[in-house]
Amino acid sequence: EDQVTQSPEALRLQEGESSSLNCSYTVSGLRGLFWYRQDPGKGPEFLFTLYSAGEEKEKERLKATLTKKESFLHITAPKPEDSATYLCAVPRGSGAGSYQLTFGKGTKLSVIP
C-alpha cells in the first residue's frame, strides 16, 4: 500500500530562519509528487509537481527537491505570510480510469515575526 509520511507535524520558525520540510513515500513506481499549501479553512493550493528523482522546482522563497525516497520543501528566509499547512501527495491507481492522490497529513508551519 502506498504511504506518504510528512515530518515534522508542526514547525515554528522565526522570520528569516530557513528550514526544510520532509515528505517520505513508499510507492510501487513513482509517477510524480505534488506539493500543496493550505491556509486554515480553505482548499489546498497547488505549488509544485516534481516528475523524477533529481528534479528541483522553485517559487519565491520555496524550493522543492525530489529523491527516490523522499522530497524536501526548503523555505528560505520565511515571512509570516508563509505560515500554512504544507501537504505532499503522490499519484496512485491503475490509470485505467484515473490516478488518484495519496496525501500526507501535512506539516503546519508557523512563522513568527
Partner 1 sequence: DVKVTQSSRYLVKRTGEKVFLECVQDMDHENMFWYRQDPGLGLRLIYFSYDVKMKEKGDIPEGYSVSREKKERFSLILESASTNQTSMYLCASKIGGASTDTQYFGPGTRLTVL
Residue with cell 525516497: 69
Residue 78 is classified by DSSP as -
Window 8-47: contact mask with partner 1 (x via CB under 8 A): -----------------------xx-x-x----xxxxxx-
- Could you say which residues in the range 52-91 bind partner 1, by CB under 8 A? 87, 89, 91
Least distance in angstroms from the C-beta of 66 to partner 1: 12
End-to-end alpha carbon distance in the chain? 41
Residues linked to residue 56 through DSSP beta bridges, in sequence order: 65
Least distance in angstroms from the C-beta of 30 to partner 1: 9
What's at 62, amino acid-wise?
Answer: L
CA 56 to chain centre: 12
Least distance in angstroms from the C-beta of 98 to partner 1: 4
Residues linked to residue 53 through DSSP beta bridges, in sequence order: none
- Interface residue list for partner 1 (CB under 8 A): 31-32, 34, 36, 41-46, 49, 51, 87, 89, 91, 93, 95, 97-101, 103-106
